[in-house]
Structure 1
């Protein structure tokens, strides 16, 4: 039975090593694709991108100009609008002309001459003819094309002179790396590839979860383990710890799922506009904190490093020493590391903090976006919080529980007294 346990544990170590390595490889590949996908989906390339707005407005202008078709039903109405507009222009011009010419004697003479011969009245009589010519001009397809081109040209000129240009260097690099031609094509392709990776990793994750839970239960119900078996158990916990430290624990992804409104009678919509995204592992968070110049952030980074990395590793090393060395069992330092550091590892605090961030972040983003939506009834915003707990979180949690169960079993088997 003793050797059977050892063989089972060796098999578990091999299986968990294989599963952990496979998951780590897949998750790294997924992470690269996800970061590229997030970059392409950022709001600066969509809702806040002047080039996108130029395309949208150009499409609307093209449609509106092409829709100009003066039939018998709307010709009279359009003719009245154009005539009214021309009359107003003539009236305004006449008023400015008379005001300008009233300043000098020569100007007053010219104004009297113009009034005597009724120059402006003559122009007004020709308004119906001008109106027919304008309508005929707009009905011509070639002229419509020229008008459309002129409007779009002026629109682009205004936009270029008013707004900053978007730097597409990163986008072009991503497109070249994944061999896509357009941003929309790249987004669709990357989403599909990420989904495929999720399907590939799912059996591995389920398997390792079942194995970890089974091992924890086995440790609790078993009467005793040999020294070599404890080493194998500790090795399993280390595998879970290392994987948990290397893989991201939480993914904070806030975005506008759908935003639509009406412009010039046309519906404009933007989808999946990323507002904020972060995904970090414990080691990456520690690294970032330690590189900060602020002393408070540096202190937090050191504490996270001590309680979430150094203590767990030292605890496993001390456990091996405790099992193999009778003298070490009387050492207060070793006993503290084996039986007390679990209470100092802050695993429970970290789990609670991650859950609070995960749950609370959704509410914050949703409430802020609701304020934007409430500003106008014509704006429809559907927000989404795609934040999720990642594989690293579950590996680290499994390690914390498994490590505590091993310590408890060592305490019971070797009949230790509390410090």
Structure 2
């Protein structure tokens, strides 16, 4: 009966980890005000002509109501999951960063949960003692996965900001993957507190 609660917590953590990795973590969208876009286009055309050409363009713009356009148009949109970010980093030849993100946000969390699961059902022996030591070492890195998700969000936001001009209004929305991964982190921490790893063989 003592194993039911930690077993349930580990299974839930594993179930949350998969969508946490594959579902979108962050969606970034850049939108441009239509009237501002029309104004910039007119100014760009006017720069190529003289003062009279500029005045004519401005007058035509006013007559056509281009300066009174309402609404926005989408100019940039990017949605990424943790796995998608790893692939994007690899495609951009940032192999080291891609490997580190994959290692700390996918490999380590999965291995930690599976080792805890195995530890629960092993009889007390030398192997269980060794596995307990490994789990203790891995648990010291338990906050790295949280740090990785923060880095991914910052990376996507910074990447978008570098591509956008002053005209574009950026909007960011956290995706389902972020909440799944946050849920995984909470259940993984709970699992670590429920599974008592013995410091020595008994």
Output the TM-score relative to the length of structure 1. Answer: 0.37
Residues in 1 aligned to 2:174 and 2:92: alpha-carbon distance in whole angstroms: 29
Equivalences for 1:167-186 in 2 at 5 Å?
none
Rg: which structure is higher? 1
2:138 to 326, 330, 340: 340
Partner residue, 1:275: 75
The answer as to 2:150 corresponding to 1:352 is yes
The answer as to 2:79 corresponding to 1:303 is no
Q: Describe the SS at the equivalent of 1:386.
A: strand
Q: Describe the SS at the equivalent of 1:369.
A: coil
The answer as to 2:66 corresponding to 1:284 is no
Partner residue, 1:319: 116
2:24 to 228, 233, 248: 248
Which ranges in structure 2 are unaligned for 5 or more consecutive residues?
Answer: 40-57
Residues in 1 aligned to 2:159 and 2:98: alpha-carbon distance in whole angstroms: 22
Residues in 1 aligned to 2:25 and 2:143: alpha-carbon distance in whole angstroms: 16
1:391 to 176, 185, 188: 176
Following superposition, the deviation at residue 230 of structure 1 comes to 2.2
Query: Per-residue displacement from partner, 1:359-392 (whole Å, max 9, x unpaired)?
Result: 76797788x416xxxxxxxxxxxx5322111110
Query: Per-residue displacement from partner, 1:27-84 (whole Å, max 9, x unpaired)?
Result: xxxxxxxxxxxxxxxxxxxxxxxxxxxxxxxxxxxxxxxxxxxxxxxxxxxxxxxxxx
Change (3 A) 1:384 1:398: same
Which ranges in structure 1 are unaligned for 5 or more consecutive residues?
Answer: 3-225, 371-382
Question: Which structure features the higher share of strand residues?
Answer: 2
Partner residue, 2:190: 405
Residues in 1 aligned to 2:12 and 2:109: alpha-carbon distance in whole angstroms: 13
Partner residue, 2:42: none
Following superposition, the deviation at residue 242 of structure 1 comes to 0.8
Partner residue, 1:197: none
Change (3 A) 1:241 1:402: same
Following superposition, the deviation at residue 254 of structure 1 comes to 1.3
Q: How many residues of Structure 1 are paired with residues of Structure 2 in the alignment? A: 174
**Conserved in 1, the CA contact under 8 Å of 2:23 and 2:81?**
yes
Residues in 2 aligned to 1:244 and 1:233: alpha-carbon distance in whole angstroms: 16
1:238 to 14, 35, 39: 14
Q: Describe the SS at the equivalent of 2:199.
A: coil
Residues in 2 aligned to 1:313 and 1:406: alpha-carbon distance in whole angstroms: 13
Following superposition, the deviation at residue 234 of structure 1 comes to 0.7
Q: Describe the SS at the equivalent of 2:195.
A: helix
Q: Which has the higher contact order (CA 8 A, sep 6+)?
A: 2
Residues in 2 aligned to 1:359 and 1:329: alpha-carbon distance in whole angstroms: 44
The RMSD of aligned alpha carbons is 3.0
Equivalences for 1:51-70 in 2 at 5 Å?
none
Change (3 A) 1:306 1:365: closer
Change (3 A) 1:354 1:310: closer
